[in-house]
A and B are shown apart, each in its own frame.
Chain A
Amino acid sequence: MALLDVRDLSVVFQRKGATPFTAVDGVSFTVEPGQTVGLVGESGCGKSVTSLAIMGLLPRRGNTVTGEVRFDDTDLLTLRPQELRDRRGQDIGMIFQDPLSSLNPVIPLGLQVAEVLERHQGRSRQTALREAGVLLDAVGIPDPARRLKEFPHQLSGGMRQRALIAIALACKPRLLIADEPTTALDVTIQAQILTLLKDLVDQSGTALVMITHDLGVVAGLCDTVNVLYAGKVVERAGRHDLFADPRHPYTHGLLQSVPRLDADRGGRLHQIRGSVSDNIPWSEGCAFAPRCDRVVDDCIGETVPLEPAARGGALRCTNPVPQEVPA
């Protein structure tokens, strides 16, 4: 049985006086215990909203969340807020994009780690602080005893993200959701953080949902990848299949857009034309059609269904990129 089974998850933002906006539109995916699953897409495709909806962290006002988020066969969306609080931090941990703003500036680091242990494991302050030191050490923060008393502004960006990882993994959750954990970091630090994450989830058998726009992160980490576009999954594939042989024109475009060192100097970088906002509603066809190079008449008219692909995974496209024939 899957650890996390997201079924037909939708999130609609309804603001006073504005037309409702569907940020997440019937997203389904599963995460097996210990597996690393990627949610990939451009800004605004709904990947962060998906993660917040899973955690129940979306503000209640103005948001309608429908569908199911089955964790351990319990639908998290039906839990009372208090029950959900018991699970967050305990069964599911989360890491955020900007480590500086995600840590409380006026509370010592030690307490920010220790308070999770106090809350979920019933530790005393003293024991929790001692364990916090061990955790900081485990995520590679040198001199943890001193760092416990320090404040977030006294740490470097990489250290802060390590601290957030320590917080998220403090209670040894079975699922970790990482929302763009390396976006705010220097490239060299990004690699360190990714390696650390990979090591930690491998050691502890924690399942990981990796939310990113960075295909390099996906390549290094994910077992399965869900590509999101305008709130829907457009392609799902194993990591190797996806990189070797992207079928959806959007996935193909994303991969093409990664700058290559061996490209001609002076050659233009590849880009997908238009932006996420240049789309049509899914109810009127494929949302990607206005930007797609392979658009055909059949793309417009009705919702393109997500069909299982022969190689495993799934694809939502009427005119996919032809499969490369092995030479």
Chain B
Amino acid sequence: MLRVVSRRLVQLVITLIALMTLVFFWLRSLPGGPVDALLGERATPQTRETLTRALGYDQPIWVQYSRFLKNVVTGNFGNSIRTGEPVADVISRSFPATIELAVAAMIIAVGLGIPLGYLAARHRGRLLDNVTIIVTLIGISIPIFFLGYLLKDWLTQDIHFFPPSGRISTGTDNTDVTGFFVLDGLLTRELDASADALWHLVLPAITLATIPLAIIVRITRASVLDVLDEDYIRTADAKGLRNTTIRKRHVLRNALLPVVTTVGLQTGALLAGAVLTEKVYNWGGLGTLITDSISGGRDYPVLQALILLAAAVFIVVNLLVDLSYAFIDPRVRVQ
């Protein structure tokens, strides 16, 4: 097991280096650049040159590249071109918001998806199953921003039930410990702040959860149906085992394998959905940071760090998937 993990960590490093290289050259191959973005069209050639030199963009590209690599290895991603702050600060301010949103969405998607998919499979061909198939099809097809604005319009404008935007009500006296507002409230015993943050979380989390939820329901349903047809389930029946034992011990564990893979992939894909969701609910997270960094001045250092972070999250999630696979299925355990 340890060998698998360490091999995966080496893979992670290699992937990240390759990705850094790609990102570095890709960003610089885009038309325009930070200098144009910062100075606008009417800047004189002099100011343009001064700024280019100040940012180090006059150096040959390989010098820039090696300096970038050296900085990344030492954990220094530079300063944001837009705000001048260190990149690490900028990101760590937005990171908890997105993680909070993503975790909430995945809790909804997994917590509802697996039981629903299982129920649908047990009611195969009957009403509940058919309704599930249709509803999940809608869930997969509906665009996130559309659903987001729909829910927002309906539940925050027509009916003032949920707060329309933000992570916490303005004026709430909350202490920032981890940046995860719900968690912070619990840690500092400011339960009202926790509840308020949770209340703000509901709509964005539901919006972000719909697609993974629908996919998880469908995969679980299909997977359970497959397992029910397996010979070993017939054996379990022939043993006279109770239905509950068969379901819990024999069906569920085998059926979870494809579900775990799906959960991993969906977690990785969540970041894309987060960009849209955060936009709709004005949620100051990584998604907002990405859009701002691209549209507001080609913030190379921030963008590079963000892309690397996204990749690292994706790889770590996949590593976790592999580990849980080995945990569930003895056949994939390495001897």
Contacts and interface: CB of A to CB of B under 8 A. Distances in A.
Interface of A: 55, 57, 84-90, 93-94, 96, 98, 101-108, 115-116, 119-120, 151, 153, 164, 167-168
B245 A96 contact: no
A67 B215 CA distance: 45
Given A88-B240, A106-B254, A153 B232 contact: no
A102 B232 contact: yes
Contacts of A104: 232, 235-236, 250, 254
22 contacts: A85-B241, A85-B243, A88-B238, A88-B239, A89-B240, A94-B238, A96-B234, A101-B232, A102-B231, A102-B232, A102-B235, A104-B232, A107-B253, A108-B330, A119-B239, A119-B241, A119-B242, A119-B245, A151-B330, A164-B235, A167-B239, A168-B238
Interface of B: 230-232, 234-243, 245, 249-250, 253-254, 328-331
Contact of B238 (A57, A86, A101): A57
A168 B249 CA distance: 19
A104 to B, nearest CB: 4
Given A86-B240, A106-B253, A151-B331, 13 more contacts: A57-B237, A88-B239, A89-B239, A89-B241, A93-B238, A96-B231, A96-B238, A102-B232, A102-B234, A102-B235, A115-B245, A119-B239, A119-B245
A101 B329 contact: no
B328 A106 contact: yes
Given A101-B232, A164-B235, A87 B240 contact: yes
Contacts of A96: 231, 234-235, 238
A13 to B, nearest CB: 16
Contacts of B230: 101
A55 B328 contact: no
B235 A88 contact: no
A101 B328 contact: no
Nearest to B234: A57
B232 A116 contact: no
Nearest to B235: A102
Contacts of B245: 115, 119
B259 to A, nearest CB: 14
Contacts of A119: 239-242, 245
A87 B239 CA distance: 9
Closest A-B pairs by Cβ, 10 of them? A89-B240, A88-B240, A89-B239, A101-B231, A151-B330, A104-B232, A94-B238, A102-B231, A85-B240, A102-B235
Contacts of B249: 107, 115
Contact of B329 (A88, A90, A93, A106): A106
A238 B231 CA distance: 33
B231 A85 contact: no
A128 to B, nearest CB: 12
Contacts of A101: 230-232
A97 to B, nearest CB: 8
Contacts of A90: 240
B324 to A, nearest CB: 13
Contacts of B329: 105-106
B118 to A, nearest CB: 17
B232 A105 contact: yes
A116 B231 CA distance: 17
Contact of B231 (A87, A88, A98): A98
B330 to A, nearest CB: 4
A167 B232 contact: no
Most chain A CB atoms below 10 A, which of B239, B245, B331: B239
B232 A103 contact: yes
Contacts of A86: 240
B244 to A, nearest CB: 11
Contacts of A87: 240
A101 B231 CA distance: 6
Nearest to A154: B330
Contacts of A85: 240-243
A94 B239 CA distance: 8
Given A101-B230, A101-B231, A104-B254, A120 B238 contact: no
Contacts of B331: 105-106, 151, 153
Nearest to A170: B239
Given A102-B231, A102-B232, A115 B254 contact: no
A102 B232 CA distance: 4
A101 B232 CA distance: 6
A74 to B, nearest CB: 15
Contacts of B243: 85
Contacts of B234: 57, 96, 102
A156 to B, nearest CB: 15
Contacts of B254: 104-106
Contacts of B238: 55, 57, 88-89, 93-94, 96, 168
A88 B242 CA distance: 11
Q: Chain A CB within 10 Å — which of B240, B243, B253 has the most?
A: B240
A235 B315 CA distance: 65
A168 B234 CA distance: 13
Given A105-B254, A151-B330, A167 B241 contact: no
A107 B235 CA distance: 13
A115 B237 contact: no
A57 B329 CA distance: 27
B256 to A, nearest CB: 9
B235 A103 contact: yes
A267 to B, nearest CB: 39
Contact of B240 (A108, A120, A151): A120
A98 B253 CA distance: 21
Contacts of B241: 85, 89, 115-116, 119
Given A96-B231, A102-B232, A107-B249, A116 B239 contact: yes
A102 B239 CA distance: 12
